[in-house]
Amino acid sequence: MPRKSSSRARGVIGRGPRPRPKSATQNPNPISELPHDSGEAPVGSLQGKLIQPPAHAGSGPTAPAVIENGASVSAAAEALEHLDVSAAAESAPVEVEPPLEASSSGSAAVGESFEEEALRKLQALAGFGGEEVELTEEEARANDQMQEDEIFALEAIFGDSVTIFNKKGGQRSFQVHLHIEIPDGIDALARLNYGAGSLKYGAVQDVDGSDNLVYKFRVKHLPPILLTCIMPSSYPSHQPPLFTISVEWMDKMMISSLCDMLDTIWDDQKGMEVAYQWAQWLQSSSLSHLGFVNEIVLSSNSVCDHDCGDKRALSHNAAPDVLIPRMMRHNDDKCHEAFLHAIHDCMICFSQLPGIDFIKLPCHHFFCLKCMQTYCKMHVKEGTVVKLLCPDTKCGCVVPPNILKRLLVDDEFERWEGLLLQRTLESMSDVVYCPRCETACLEDADNEGVCSSCLFSFCTLCRDRRHVGEKCMSPEDKLLILEVGGLHSI
């Protein structure tokens, strides 16, 4: 069974003696015995927008037509509708399964995760076999020790992102999710084609570019790069680890470029441990290697050619309505996770507390739990529920009911609901109260109302029984009643 690594570093000193390895005459292939990891790929949520790029002169291809956020253009509106990315992304995460054709590594099995596909692909690649390497007993022992030390280093640095599989047939294997964080954020662009009245992803750009849209959103966290490795018994003395790289937002050619770079690192350091260096390089330098410095351009090739690119490159380049919400949701989840673990200042009491002790409002202002609880209880007790707004003086965001439910006890929450209903009804000009049971009723154009509770039909001017076919009072009397009612309300 695979085991998740511990974030606690385990030293080499103090371990008990290991059995002496046998002299290996060939490289066994344990991949068929590797269990499948059942992890789900995380998904990401921020709002994006359609933007208008500047016009460029020249003989090159025309830039795609891009629509500014809020423009009343039917193509942009329908494109956003297809993407289904809106403020509703703040709601609970929704698992979205990628279509089978989104994978460049072949037809993925139904319900197969990225981790399982990576293991299956590596099994297929390892099945071709390789050049057998005969090792002396001393070489086998040295390789085993260096592999073990490197596994410990991976566990210590990457923590729970590493999954170590049981050693089978003299070979070690692992998977590591390499999370990429950009502190200042980076723009991600997805080119959309809106030709013939339907949204098409990755279609060939028209000459005038009029049918192309660019959807832009900003992220600080990208979905992870999945590195899956097998360490043969001849590693690191003779051969490199077998590996696959799986990324859901890159195309196969991009990932193939990363594979080539890992091969280059091994060629420059043959005979040395490179698995940790591979993981570190993928996490820190892969974006700059691909030229993604100021922005990331998502590939427009949703269907990859299986005959081109590196066979170790696994792409899950899905359609935009799947990929973009995933990336946004993953970013949102990671930002929230980072907020919970960081230390923040409460702008009410100026205390420094971890994010888990804060209440974060929809307007993105946050205050400590104790201050927000006192603030909300005070307004409910005093009956000023319409003033339950964000404590920031420059913000008018209303504190939502789901947060009030956490901060108030049941009696206080019921009082808040009743007061809010009462204040809302009082602000409505066509709402009157039944003279008998004081139930709120709607006033019609003839100044009459019918109580929904006691079914009493009454005149809203004199508050007596409805005058059927009779004139209630003169216009002067009505005006006087309205003036008196206005003075009472003041």
As a CATH number, domain 349-426 is 3.30.40.10
CA contacts within 13 A on the Cβ side of 169:
15
Encoded amino acid at 33, one letter = E
Residue matched to tokens 């420094």: 352
pLDDT tens digit sequence for 62-98: 334 343 333 334 444 454 455 544 433 343 333 333 3
Give the integer Cα–Cα distance in Å for 244 and 256.
Answer: 10
Question: Where in the chain are the domains?
Answer: 23-325, 349-426, 441-489
Q: What are phi and psi of 330, to 5 degrees?
A: -60, -45
d(CA 146, CA 268): 18
For residue 1, give the nearest of 27, 38, 29, 28 by alpha carbon.
38
Q: What's the token pair of residue 403?
A: 């947060």
The model's pTM is 0.62
For 396, the token pair is 């008018």
Taking alpha carbons only, the member of 451, 448, 431 closest to residue 439 is 451
Q: How far apart are CA 111 and CA 100, in angstroms?
A: 10
Find out whether 458 and 443 touch, Cβ atoms under 8 Å: no
22's CB contacts (< 8 A; 6+ apart) are: 137, 140, 170
Residue 74 contacts residue 50 (beta carbons within 8 Å): no
C-alpha 123/C-alpha 315 separation (Å) is 17
CB atoms within 10 A of CB 247: 26
Q: pLDDT tens string for the chain (490 positions)?
A: 565 554 434 333 333 444 443 333 333 333 333 333 433 333 333 345 544 444 443 334 433 434 333 333 444 445 445 554 443 334 333 333 333 333 333 444 545 676 777 777 776 776 655 566 788 889 989 999 999 999 999 999 999 999 988 777 668 889 999 999 998 999 998 877 655 444 444 433 444 444 567 888 999 999 999 999 999 889 999 999 999 999 989 988 999 999 999 999 999 999 999 999 999 999 999 999 999 988 998 876 545 445 578 889 988 777 787 888 999 999 999 999 999 999 999 999 999 999 999 999 999 899 999 999 999 999 999 988 888 999 998 898 999 999 999 999 999 999 999 888 887 777 777 778 888 887 888 777 777 788 888 888 888 777 777 777 677 765 567 677 777 765 555 4
Buried-exposed string 399-428: b where 16+ CB fall within 10 A, e elsewhere = beeebbeebbeeeebebbeebbeeeeeeee
Return the CATH class of domain 23-325. alpha beta
Per-residue pLDDT at 175: 93
Cis peptide before 17 (omega within 30 of 0): no
Residue 343, both tokens: 């230390």
For 289, the token pair is 């290697």
The values of phi and psi at residue 479, to 5°, are -65, -40
Do 295 and 191 contact (CB within 8 A), yes or no?
no
